[in-house]
A and B are shown apart, each in its own frame.
Chain A
C-alpha cells in the first residue's frame, strides 16, 4: 500500500537522522581528541602520566579507576541484587512484591548528585570510622586494605556505585527468574525439594547466563557514572591495589577538569578520555546484549 511505503520512508528518514546525529557526535569527540591521540598514539591508553603543566597525558590510571571501582561495585551489588530478585519472585508474599520492587527501582530514580552529597556526609565518615578500622585491623597486612583512613577513596566510590546499580541488576534478574517456567518449580517441589533446593535447582541454575548478563548491564551502568563518583573517590590519578587509597575515573576526570582545562592539549586529552570511555562502555553494553540474545534464542527454541 502506498501509505505504508510513505510511513516506512518517514521511519527510515528518522532513523537516518538519528544515525547522522550520532556520527556527528562521534566525529565531534574524535576531532577534539585527535591532537592528543596524534601526539601520543595508542600509547595514550597505556601511559600513566597525567601532568597538565608539562602536557604529559595518559589514560591508564583512569581506565584502572573506572574498571576497578565498577567491578568492585558489581561484587558488592550482585549478591544483594540476586537475593532481592529471588525474594521478589519466590519468597515474598504476593501482596508485597510490587511495592518492594517499586522501592528498589526508586533507587535508580535518585539523581547522581544527590548520591554524591550523601556519600560525602554519611557514607565516607561511616567508612572512615567503622569499615576502615575493621578491614585494616584484620587484613591491613595485605596490599588491598593498607593505608590511612581517609574515608574517601576506591571503596567508598564502589559502595555508592553498588547502591546505584542494584536496581538495574535486580530488575533484570527478576525478569530472568520470572521467565523460568513455573513447571520447573512445581516439578522440583513435586519430588520433595525444599524451598531452597527448588530455588537453587529450578530457578538459579537455568538462569545462570541471564544473571551474568544482568551483572554486565549493571557494570555498564557503573562505568559511565559521573557526579556521585567524583564526589567520593578522592580524585587522584594513581594506580594502587589498596581499596582505601584515592583513585580517579574517566568520567570523574572529565567532570573535574573540563571547565578549567589549561590549553588545547589538556582539552584534547580529556576528549580522548571521553572517547575511550565511550568505547569501553559500548563494548560492555554489547557484551551484555549479546549474552541476553543468545540465552533468549536458546530458551525460545
Chain B
C-alpha cells in the first residue's frame, strides 16, 4: 500500500458505511409504511364507531328506520352461532385433510386432494355463496342458518387444511419413527403424537380461519340471508354482523351509518382479539 492510497481507503469505508446506514433507514421507512395503514384504518373505524357504541348495541334488536337507538344483538348472536356451526362442520375435516395431505403424500389421492384444496383457496367467496345457494337453499326451500354456516365452512376448510399440512411438515420424522418403534399403530402416532406436537401452531391456523369467516359478507347474502328479529330456529333466515353492517352502510340514514361503524368496530376488535389470543396461546404453549 503506497502512502497516496492510505487516505482514500477510509473514504471508501465511509461511503460503504454511509450506504449501509442509508439502506437501514430505507428499510425502516418501508417497515413503517407497512404498519401505517393499520393505524390509519383502525383509528378511523374507532373514531366513527366508538360514539355509537352503548350497552343497547349488544342485546337489542335493530331499530326501524326513522327511530333512534336499537342495536345489533341478533346479528351478533347470529354471527357467533354461524361461526361456531361452520367451525364444527369444517375444522375436523380440515384437520384430517391436512393430516392426509401431509402424511400420506405417497398416495395419489393425497396429492390430488392437495391440488384441489389449493384450488379451493382461490375460489372467490361470492362464488361459494352462489354454490351454497344452488346446493342447499334452493333444494331445502328457503334460506337458513345452516346454509350460511355451510358456505362459511367451505371457506374455512381449505385454510385449516393448509395450515395443518404446513405445520405437520415441520415436525421432525424422529417423532414419527419413535412412535412407530414403540409399536403404536400409525393412526395413533399421527393423532396422538404428531397432531398433538403441532397443536398450538395448528390452533393458530384454526383461529385465523375463524377470524376470516367472521368477516365474510358475500357468501351470506344468499344463504343465511338476514332477519330483523331473533331467529327461533336454525332452519330460518338469521342475522349476521357483516350482512347487517352492509345493509346499514348502503342505507340513506345517518343513524344507520353510525350503527354500521359501531358494528365494524366490534367486528374488527373481535377479529383482532381472536388473533391476539391465538398468538398468546401459541407463545405460552411453546415456552
Q: Are chains A and B touching directly in their complex (CB below 8 angstroms)?
A: yes
Provide the residues of chain B in CB contact with A82, threshold 8 Å. Answer: 30
Interface size of B by Cβ–Cβ distance < 8 Å? 78
- Quick one: which of B104, B117, B242, B275 contacts A11, CB cutoff 8 A? B104
- Whether B272 is near chain A, meaning CB under 8 Å from some CB there, is yes
CB pair A112 B37 closer than 8 Å: no
Nearest CB on B from A92, distance (A): 8
CA distance A286 to B122 in the complex (A): 10
CB nearest neighbor in A for B22: A196
Chain B residues within 8 Å of A8, by CB:
104
Chain B, range 63-117, C-beta contacts under 8 Å to A: 93, 96-97, 99-100, 104, 107, 109-110, 112-113, 116-117
Give the residue name and chain of the A residue nearest to B28 (CB).
A87
Contacting pair B31 A84 (CB below 8 A): yes
Contact residues of A between 108 and 128, Cβ < 8 Å to B: 109-115, 117-118, 121-122
Q: Check B271–A91 contact: CB distance below 8 A.
A: no
Main secondary structure of the interface of A (DSSP, over half): helix
B217 at the interface (CB under 8 A from A): yes
Say whether A42 faces chain B, with CB atoms less than 8 Å apart: no
- B127 interface neighbour in A15, A223, A278, Cβ under 8 Å: A278
Contact status B134-A110, CB under 8 Å: no
- Residues of chain A lying within 8 A (CB to CB) of residue B242: 111, 113
Q: A28-B135, A113-B242, A224-B124 are in contact. Are A14 and B185 (CB under 8 A)?
A: no
Q: Is A301 an interface residue (CB 8 A)?
A: no
Inter-chain contact B267/A22, CB cutoff 8 Å: no
B124 touches A15 (CB 8 A): no
**A186: interface (CB < 8 Å):** no
Q: A8-B104, A254-B124 are in contact. Are A80 and B34 (CB under 8 A)?
A: yes
The answer to whether A258 touches B130, judged by C-beta atoms less than 8 angstroms apart, is yes
| Interface: B20 (CB within 8 A) | yes
Contact A16 B109 (CB under 8 A): yes
B-side residues, CB < 8 A to A, are 16-17, 19-20, 22-24, 26-31, 33-35, 37-38, 40-41, 44-45, 93, 96-97, 99-100, 104, 107, 109-110, 112-113, 116-128, 130-131, 134-135, 154, 157, 185-188, 190, 208, 211-212, 214-218, 221, 242, 245-246, 249, 264, 267-268, 271-272, 275-276, 279
21 contacts across the A-B interface (CB closer than 8 A):
A3-B188, A4-B187, A7-B186, A83-B26, A88-B31, A91-B28, A102-B275, A105-B275, A109-B212, A114-B264, A196-B22, A197-B16, A224-B123, A226-B126, A227-B217, A274-B130, A278-B127, A281-B122, A282-B118, A282-B119, A284-B122
